[in-house]
């Protein structure tokens, strides 16, 4: 039996209760000679929904939590074994057991591990059986309970409506849970990371994380200085913004002030096209064209350009964010009251003078907010830098050198064999936390700037 089978069983049970309940309310109205408050189908729904709740919970527990429950039971049984293991040995033992179960053992399993794996498999069946039994019994009893409630004066429709609204509320709370999940998972693993890495260590320039088993061998957890990562991130971001901002701003000004209607009608979708291209495609573009091209130009000029340079990543990222920057600048420009623009034009200024002397100063808060949002976008961008920038941490301001970024190192730390007890994996979450805080602050600041810009514009 799989969760989907249980789900089907639930649907069948609910359908039965739907029919029962409808039959029952029809009989009751005939008997009492009184019309029912709601239509018969609402009584049906009432019983069906009530009966479905336990099954749904059961399926959720099965899908999300059964493995955890089984593990807890197993750990309880093997208490004495784990007591003899060194610190952290339990997690490693479990990890090894899971990889043995997956059929990809890290090394030939010890008899203990094989025995534990067998015990785990043995525990799965009773746990699943219990879940199925409990949810089915729950469904039947709630269904019969619902049938007992049903009588003509009972307003089933109102109950159904309230249930629906509750469901809607649950759905919107899920959005909070997602954010909370991000924050909590980052926070939790970051705290664990700081058990191994001291905070002062972050403010150094060496980034040399070590994988789990190596840590166990020599006790050296590696070096976790994030300065070089952030310098690389901001270097690429700086390159990207210094290309994209002038171009994006000029495009926005041109399209809003000069361009004919037909140019606008063609250009806007083209820019949207540029914005809709996945970042992995830009990364590919950087690998096959921009990187080699820059290297060739560098060779021609006698400059030493790394094959994977901050310049290449920044340039491609600039192409990616030009549409974003130009649409944000467009918003900022159009938030400027037209009276200001018309006033300046009426004084005999040319369009260029109006733009430079009136529009841009008035739109400055909006444009700054656009820059911040764009920077936050480039900092969080992963694929382009992963493909176009380097891997080695390198504290430099030279855009032609190879640098690495926070996002690249996150990917590097958690691809391949992930062990959740290794400092290397935990360091990815620590970097994620730093990234989250940085981008969140920028976004919040950018939104407040924009709001100020708009209210300023309306005065």
**Site for another protein, residues 180 to 199, rule: CB under 8 A:** 181-182, 185-186, 188-189
Q: At its nearest, how many Å lie between another protein and the CB of residue 338?
A: 19
By CB under 8 A, what part of segment 411-430 binds another protein? 411, 414-415, 418, 420, 428-429
Touching another protein, residues 36-75 (CB under 8 A): 37, 39-40, 63-65, 67-68, 71
147 neighbors 20 (Cβ within 8 angstroms): yes
Q: Which of these ranges, 22-30, 50-58, 73-81, 373-381, lies near another protein under the rule CB under 8 A?
A: 373-381
Token duo for residue 95:
């990890």
Which of 83, 171, 301, 339 binds another protein (CB under 8 A)? It is 171
Other beta carbons within 10 angstroms of residue 87's beta carbon come to: 6
- Are 229 and 410 in contact by the 8 Å Cβ rule? The answer is no
The residue among 45, 37, 56 whose CA lies nearest residue 19 is: 45
In the complex with another protein, the residue whose CB is nearer, 356 or 392, is 356
Quote the CA–CA distance of 284 and 121 in Å, as a whole number.
44
Q: Does 297 bind another protein (CB under 8 A)?
A: no
Instruction: List the interface residues with another protein, window 242-271 (CB under 8 A).
Output: 246-248, 250-251, 253-255, 257-259, 267, 270-271
424 CA to centre of own chain: 21
Pick between residue 133 and residue 164 the one whose CB is nearest to another protein: 164
- Is 360 one of the binding residues for another protein (CB under 8 A)? no
Nearer to another protein, 136 or 438 (CB): 438
Q: Are the C-beta atoms of 190 and 402 separated by less than 8 Å?
A: no
Q: What angle do CA 368, 371, 373 make, to 5 degrees?
A: 110
Do 372 and 446 form a contact (C-beta atoms < 8 A)? yes
Backbone phi, then psi, for 150, in 5-degree steps?
-75, 120
Query: Six-digit token pair at 29?
Result: 């109205």
Q: Write out the two tokens for 213.
A: 């088993």
Subset of residues 200 to 229 that bind another protein, contact rule: CB under 8 A: none
Q: Is residue 381 a contact residue for another protein (CB under 8 A)?
A: yes
Binding mask 128-167 for another protein (x = CB under 8 A): ---------------------------x-xx-xx--xx-x
Which tokens sit at 117? 């794996």
Q: To the nearest whole angstrom, how small is the minimum distance from the Cβ of residue 120 to another protein? A: 11
Positions in 340-359 near another protein (CB under 8 A): 350-353, 355-356
Q: Using CB under 8 A, which of 107, 148, 176, 261 touches another protein?
A: 176
What are 245's two structure tokens? 């901002």
- Residue 151 or 204 with smaller CB distance to another protein: 151
Which residues, 316 to 335, sit near another protein by CB under 8 A?
319, 322-323, 326
Which residues lie below 8 Å from residue 252, measured CB to CB, with a gap of 6+?
A: 325, 326, 327, 329, 330, 333
Residue 257 CB, shortest distance to another protein, in Å, is 8
Task: Give how many residues touch another protein by CB under 8 A.
Answer: 99
d(CA 234, CA 399): 11
Least distance (Å) from another protein to the CB of residue 141?
Answer: 27
Inter-residue contact 399 to 389 (CB < 8 Å) = no
Q: What gap in Å lies between CA 291 and CA 284, rounded to an integer?
A: 10
Considering beta carbons, is residue 136 or 313 the nearer one to another protein?
A: 313
When binding is defined by CB under 8 A, the residue of 27, 106, 277, 392 that contacts another protein is 277
Q: Per CB under 8 A, does 455 bind another protein?
A: no
């Amino acid at each position: 039996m799989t969760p989907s089978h249980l789900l089907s069983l639930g649907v069948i049970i609910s359908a039965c209760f739907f029919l029962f309940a409808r039959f029952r309310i029809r009989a009751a109205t005939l008997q009492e000679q009184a019309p029912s408050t709601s239509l018969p189908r609402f009584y049906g729904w009432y019983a069906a929904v009530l009966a479905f709740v336990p099954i749904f919970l059961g399926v959720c527990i099965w899908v999300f939590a059964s493995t955890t429950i089984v593990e807890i039971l197993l750990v309880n049984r093997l208490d004495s074994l784990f007591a003899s293991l060194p610190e952290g040995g339990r997690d490693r033992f479990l990890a090894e057991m899971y990889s043995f179960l997956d059929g990809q053992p890290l090394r030939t399993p010890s008899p203990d591990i094989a025995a534990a794996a067998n015990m785990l498999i043995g525990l799965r069946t009773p746990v699943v059986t219990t879940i199925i039994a409990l949810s089915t019994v729950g469904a039947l009893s709630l269904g019969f309970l619902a049938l007992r409630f049903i009588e003509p004066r009972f307003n089933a429709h109102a109950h159904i409506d309230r249930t629906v609204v509750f469901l809607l509320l649950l759905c919107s709370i899920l959005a909070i849970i997602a954010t909370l999940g991000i924050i909590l998972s980052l926070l939790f693993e970051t705290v664990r990371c700081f058990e191994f890495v001291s905070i002062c260590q972050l403010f150094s320039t060496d980034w040399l994380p070590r994988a789990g088993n190596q840590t166990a061998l020599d006790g050296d957890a590696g070096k976790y200085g994030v300065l070089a990562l952030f310098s690389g991130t901001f270097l690429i971001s700086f390159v990207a913004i210094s290309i994209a901002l002038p171009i994006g701003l000029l495009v926005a000004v041109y399209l809003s002030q000069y361009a004919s209607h037909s140019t606008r009608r063609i250009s806007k979708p083209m820019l949207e096209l540029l914005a809709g291209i996945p970042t992995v495609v830009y990364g590919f573009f950087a690998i096959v064209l921009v990187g080699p091209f820059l290297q060739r130009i560098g060779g021609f000029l006698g400059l030493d350009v790394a094959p994977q340079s901050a310049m290449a990543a920044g340039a491609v990222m600039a192409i990616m964010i030009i549409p974003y920057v130009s649409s944000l600048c467009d918003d900022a420009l159009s938030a400027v009251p037209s009276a200001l623009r018309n006033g300046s034009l009426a004084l005999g200024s040319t369009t260029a003078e109006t733009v430079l002397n009136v529009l841009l100063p008035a739109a400055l808060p909006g444009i700054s907010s656009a820059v911040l949002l764009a920077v936050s976008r480039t900092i969080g961008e992963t694929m382009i830098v992963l493909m176009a920038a380097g891997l080695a941490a390198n504290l430099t301001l030279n855009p032609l050198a190879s640098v690495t970024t926070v996002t690249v190192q996150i990917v590097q730390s958690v691809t391949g064999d992930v062990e959740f007890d290794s400092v290397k994996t935990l360091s990815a979450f620590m970097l994620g936390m730093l990234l989250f805080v940085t981008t969140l602050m920028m976004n919040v600041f950018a939104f407040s700037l924009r709001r100020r810009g708009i209210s300023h514009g309306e005065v």
